[in-house]
Amino acid sequence: MIFAKFFKKYNDITLLTCNFNNEKLTMTMLESFNKYVKNFKNIIILDNSTTNPIQILNKKYTVIDNTNFKLTPDFKQVSKNHCCSIDYAFKNLIKTKYVLLCDNDIIFNKHIVNLLNKRKNFDCIGEIGYDTVPPERIFPYLMICDLDKVKKKVVDYFDESRIIKKQEETCEILSSKYGNVYDTGYSFYRDIVNTFVIKRIRIEDYCIHLKAGSLKNEQEITDFINKNL
């Protein structure tokens, strides 16, 4: 009976992460999550790989094959592709009330349990800010939201008219050309900021983030894992 209650504790939330050519990072992230969050049932890995598809055979995880854009279009721009795949997952793959969206290049600490336990008190939980240039966005690196409310309010995670325009240019060049740079999570944040109860956090309180992990070399990834896991 005690086990059953504990198992049901998180049956209303799904962890969603996107893998891009780096199964090692994804599995390390999940290993750190499982270390602190026991008996978590709903884990979806959307595999957006183009060269190194995920190979894991583990019934504990649901791996969705979006390799080489089987399910979502290729916009030739990283942020657009990432946003579109998240939007697809929100609308088609996740059946629970809540979603924990996280990058695959993070390593959780024990405080992730406290964050999960706050999910029912807010419509959305995440860090709001910007990396290089404004405007603010809600970072996709670690976010919890009430997906039922997102669907009810008909909020899209991906809006092609409000996102970075060119892949090959830096944020500084984009800003001077187009004005504000609308990075991943910007349009979503703008669409919920006035109607959702949002809890602002610092992501660093709950995990270590490598950032752009899929673009790092093997040694950088190994060093990150050895140092933080």
Q: For the chain, what percent of residues have pLDDT higher than 90? A: 71
The CA distance from 191 to 16, in Å, is: 21
For 144-186, write each residue's pLDDT tens digit. 999 999 999 999 999 988 887 654 444 454 444 444 567 899 9
- For residue 210, the enclosing domain spans 2-228
200: domain CATH number?
Answer: 3.90.550
The CA distance from 82 to 73, in Å, is: 10
193: which residues sit within 8 A by CB, 6+ positions away? none
To the question of pTM greater than 0.95 for the whole model, the response is: no
The CA distance from 228 to 203, in Å, is: 15
For 101-112, write each residue's pLDDT tens digit. 999 999 999 999
Confidence (pLDDT) at 182: 79
The CA distance from 146 to 200, in Å, is: 15
Q: Which helix (H) or strand (E) holds 35?
A: helix 23-36
8: which residues sit within 8 A by CB, 6+ positions away? none
The CA distance from 34 to 60, in Å, is: 11
The CA distance from 40 to 64, in Å, is: 18
Domain count, the chain: 1
Across all residues in the chain, what is the average pLDDT?
89
Least confident of 12-26, 132-146, 197-211: 132-146
For 22-53, write each residue's pLDDT tens digit. 999 999 999 999 999 998 999 999 999 999 99
Residue 3 has pLDDT above 50, yes or no: no
- Nearest of 80, 83, 78, 123 to residue 99 by alpha carbon: 123
Strand order in the sheet with 98-102: 62-65, 43-47, 13-19, 98-102, 137-146, 124-129, 198-200
